[in-house]
Amino acid sequence: MRPRRRVRIGESNCGCVRAGCLAKVAIAFRLLVEEVSRSKILFLCPTRPPPRLREAITKLDMAKLTKRDIVVAISNQTGMVQHEVFDVVQRTLDKITDSLANNIAVELRNFGVFQPRLTKPRVGRNPNQPGSSFVIPPRATVKFKAGKIMRQRVEKLSRELKEASERQKNASQPTRNGP
């Protein structure tokens, strides 16, 4: 294993002088998308169970995946320093946000598509004042459509969660003996 070399922002292994090497950014971004789409990062936290114990997982048992978890996982896999990986992840998220703010859809293959949308104006009512109604103005939102691989993995997870909840329900119900 080669020793890690600290690289300052503005220099890189290939000698480019820009704020981070484009080759490094491309590799780190590809790893980010692969990790999130494969969901390998979901079990980094010691409080979450390993994959062999997934039968007992329910929605309440799952913790959330943070940007820090992604940075640590990519740093461990690539050997890059964490602050460099953080910078790449942050710049990626900033670019996605800027594109959506400029009404440009973002498509990440095998992950999904983010599309800016404008909601329709609708009528709102105050439940405390039954006679009053008002118009809720349209506003910009972001729609996410999952990619094929992500959709398949989540469907598989939903089947596993459903089976686990049915097993728990069957185990908790007392068996009836006939009269």
CATH number for the domain spanning 51: value is: 4.10.520.10
Q: Residue 111 is part of which domain span?
A: 22-117+137-171
Residues in the chain: 179
Residue 83 CA: distances (Å) to CA of 9, 20, 64, 92: 10, 12, 21, 14
Q: Name the DSSP letter for residue 40.
A: G
pTM of the model: 0.56
123: in domain: no
62: in domain: yes
89: in domain: yes
Q: How many domains is the chain partitioned into structurally?
A: 1
- pLDDT means per 10 residues, the chain with 179 residues, are 49 44 62 60 43 42 82 93 95 95 94 94 88 91 94 90 87 66
Is the Cβ–Cβ distance between 56 and 164 less than 8 Å? yes
